[in-house]
Structure 1
Amino acid sequence: MVQRENVGGAWQVRLPIQGTGRLVAAALLSVWLCAWAAGEVFVLGTLAAGFRDLVAPGWHLDWLPAMKQTANVAPRFAMLFMGLWVTLWTIGGALGMRELARMLFGEDIVRWNTDGLDVTHRAGPFTSRKHIAYDDVRDLLVGPRGALVAETVNGRITLAVAGTPQDRRELQVALTEAWNLSGGLSRQRDKEAEAAPMGWKVEKDANGAVMLVSDSRQRRAVAVALVAIATMPAIAAITLMRDPVQVSWLAVAGFLALTLSALLGAGWVATSRVELRPREQGLTWRATGLGREWVQDYHPASLHVERTADADGDERFRLLVESRGLTRELGAAVQSPASALHLGRWLARHMSAEIQGLEVELHAQRQAS
């Protein structure tokens, strides 16, 4: 049974990392980190030697490798490529070391009072803290791989992965009780009536009718990441083409194909836009991207929340719109139906419709309780 303690007028639960399986994973991760360190030293040494040859060709240091120069190869491009690669490699190694510390010495501390939750994750020397107000909570659940998570207006936040599954379930019950006592559930319902669902924003069309538009902030972040990814194969291709005698055009074509694919993906993500235009007993779905447009009208339309589970027992919830044999998924959520139901309730209110499926099931459960 999970033990709680009173600290400064707030309840607190400490969950240390447990289980023998983590030791096996930690051993494998340690082997990878050894290989990571070797790669880090090699690439950093090569970069240092290349930089030395660029700025001080006659300066010799015994601990730096000698660089073999080729007249037609531009070392600056090679160094730029290696610099980008080693940056990502270093970030990966830092994350690996943090994960190793979590596997060996990890601890999750959850503290709650009448104002909200304070979550602390400790992994050896690494510590992260976050405060979550009850007003921002939409659901508390045991998510994928048994982690205790909070569905909030800003996305999903992990509360605890340490402890035993039973500890996390008991903590979920305690936190849900505190959240309900604070009036969080009723406030959530009131906010859903006006707030835009997660990942969407409310706009008005030319006629003044409200509609939902996919949030562009997430799309821009993905587009920037794809452009950054595209630079690495582009630099590799340019570096290879600097030596026209020994160049492998098949490799160049492969790198250019990767670059083009990433840039096309970035262009699609940056320019794509999805609109949901509800009306009385109907819904129009419209999508645009890279100068193209797709429109599908559903009338009369019905909304349905479907629940499925995979082989591991992880539940997935899909919001579907159906009309005359046509079906389209409008949103999906894993483990918790909160975001899918929020989107469905918003649309149902503006369509003068009702949600079938899970909404009916949840209503029956509330009536029974």
Structure 2
Amino acid sequence: MIGERVTEGWQVRLKSCGPMRYVSAAFLLFWLCGWAIGEGVALTFLAKGILALMNGAPFEEGRSPLQLGPALAAGGFLLLWLSLWTLGGIMAIGEVLRLLWGEDRLIVNAGGLTIVRCRGPFRSRREIPRDLLRRIVIDSPSGPVVAETPQGRIEITRLGTNEEREESAAALRSELGIREDAPRTDPVALPKGWAEVITPEGERAVTVDAATKRLRVRVVALAALAAGALAYGLVMESLHRVEVLPVAIIAVAGTVGVSWLTVWLARGRMEWRIGRGSLTLRRRFGSTIKDVFEGRRLELVVSRDSDSDEWIALEALGEGAAESRPEQWTRVSSKNRRRITSVLRDPSVPRLLGAWLSKAAGVPLEDRTRREARQAEITLTLDQLEKSGPVGRVAARLLGKAFDKTRKSA
């Protein structure tokens, strides 16, 4: 961490560090080579198809001219795939720039906090007024520095080592005059993407908001159109080539499935009915409703998937539900536990939603994502291993060293 006085105010600079970033960058660069080849092939294929349709010429020499229906179906599918492929490549390029040439400049002045992100030749700037800053915290030993505001949490930086992020957070609090243990004084509000509704039965419930629902419907509807166009093209082709028939049947079945999902998203929803001391998960489709689960308490947990990505989840627990284990693998909902929402790395949405539901329904909320809670759970796990026997003691020592190394490195 580099702290200095500049003309704009007091500045902290944090850069990407750690040897493992070169391994990740090398893998992404290798993947980007294949991405560039795929991008070029797809664009060439698409351009040739458009020219063949415009000129009425065959796609390749020695073949008959393209038929409009199958050509449009294949072109629509290819265009959708190319859009997703291009987006994935842009994200990978951004990650390579962050790993190799990433730098965050945090500038504090009388107006508040300015975040300047440098990713190679690209720069972005964001300003947070001082009167909106409530707290500056780090939730986990290897987590990012985040700012809490009335509108939600804003990631300040995740660059630098763990110690550098701790130092920068303390320095920012000192310069801005924010106490580390400053409580939240703003009223609890639902996070973006969620809304309170009154059901036809006159009850309060929480579900995804209308804008999020419309976006989901549009995305799945576009996928249904692309699948339908592909299925149509394959069906038409199967009339002339019987060997295409099995693939056409699979495409038609997939189109029916995606179309049904579109109808479900448009007319149905899952909602959490707010009771007195309980939250009831209800499935609603048109005028049909069904209660599928009742939760008596809430829990914020950290879980990891098969790629070791960290997810912050808000879960509702029923009667007799067991407590979660620290850093457990992501699991599906069980008989006594239902996942309300989960977000990759950022705990702001699950935490705000959990606080709102806890207050509205009068159910307890246990936050297991705070650094203190996670450290206590890790310590308990190590103690249990120490008492389990010789093998457990060896495992406890190895895990203890791994946890210590994680806290000291980026």
Q: 1:316 offset after TM fit, Å?
A: 4.6
Task: Note if contact 1:304-1:356 (Cα within 8 Å) is conserved in structure 2.
Answer: yes
Task: Note if contact 2:205-2:271 (Cα within 8 Å) is conserved in structure 1.
Answer: no
Aligned to 1:125: 121
Aligned to 2:100: 104
Task: Note if contact 1:332-1:340 (Cα within 8 Å) is conserved in structure 2.
Answer: yes
Alignment CA distance shift 1:290-1:124 (3 Å): farther
Aligned to 1:219: 213
Summarize the alignment of residues 87-166 of structure 1 with structure 2, pairs less than 5 Å apart. Answer: 87-113=83-109, 115-133=111-129, 135=132, 140-142=137-139, 146-150=143-147, 157-166=154-163
**Scaled by the length of structure 2, what TM-score is found?**
0.67
Alignment CA distance shift 1:269-1:233 (3 Å): same
Whole-angstrom distance in 1 between the partners of 2:45 and 2:265: 37
Aligned to 1:31: 30
Aligned to 1:367: none
Aligned to 2:364: 355
Alignment CA distance shift 1:98-1:304 (3 Å): closer
Name the SS of the counterpart of 1:245 in structure 2: coil
CA offset digits 1:286-330 (Å, max 9, x no partner): 3313654123696xx853436566597958564535458895547
Aligned to 1:181: 178
Quick one: percent identity of the two aligned structures? 26
Name the SS of the counterpart of 1:189 in structure 2: coil
Task: Note if contact 1:319-1:341 (Cα within 8 Å) is conserved in structure 2.
Answer: no
Alignment CA distance shift 1:202-1:309 (3 Å): closer
Alignment CA distance shift 1:203-1:115 (3 Å): farther
Q: 1:166 offset after TM fit, Å?
A: 2.0
Q: 1:100 offset after TM fit, Å?
A: 2.5
User: Which amino acid in structure 1 is aligned with residue 162 of structure 2?
Assistant: P
Name the SS of the counterpart of 2:166 in structure 1: helix
Q: 1:274 offset after TM fit, Å?
A: 0.9
CA offset digits 1:200-258 (Å, max 9, x no partner): 32345679875544423223222222223333333322222222222522222332333
User: Which amino acid in structure 2 is aligned with residue 78 of structure 1?
Assistant: A
Q: 1:163 offset after TM fit, Å?
A: 1.9
Aligned to 2:194: 200
Q: 1:7 offset after TM fit, Å?
A: 3.1
Task: Note if contact 1:302-1:321 (Cα within 8 Å) is conserved in structure 2.
Answer: yes
- Pairing 1:239–2:238 present: no
Aligned residues: CA RMSD: 4.3
- Pairing 1:43–2:61 present: no
CA offset digits 1:149-200 (Å, max 9, x no partner): 44656565432232222212322333455667289945x33322xx335543
Whole-angstrom distance in 2 between the partners of 1:227 and 1:287: 21
Q: 1:272 offset after TM fit, Å?
A: 0.7
Aligned to 2:253: 257
Q: Which of these residues, 153, 165, 170, is aligned with residue 168 of structure 1?
A: 165
Q: 1:144 offset after TM fit, Å?
A: 9.6
Task: Count how many residue pairs are aligned between Structure 1 and Structure 2.
Answer: 351
- Pairing 1:277–2:271 present: no
Structure 1's unaligned 5+ residue stretches are 365-369
Q: 1:264 offset after TM fit, Å?
A: 2.9
Whole-angstrom distance in 2 between the partners of 1:330 and 1:75: 43
Q: Which of these residues, 78, 85, 89, is aligned with residue 81 of structure 2?
A: 85
Whole-angstrom distance in 1 between the partners of 2:195 and 2:180: 26
Whole-angstrom distance in 1 between the partners of 2:251 and 2:141: 36
Alignment CA distance shift 1:291-1:265 (3 Å): farther
Alignment CA distance shift 1:322-1:35 (3 Å): closer
Q: Which of these residues, 283, 288, 293, is aligned with residue 284 of structure 2?
A: 288
User: Which amino acid in structure 2 is aligned with residue 263 of structure 1?
Assistant: S
Task: Note if contact 1:121-1:127 (Cα within 8 Å) is conserved in structure 2.
Answer: yes
Task: Note if contact 2:141-2:162 (Cα within 8 Å) is conserved in structure 1.
Answer: no
Task: Note if contact 1:331-1:343 (Cα within 8 Å) is conserved in structure 2.
Answer: no
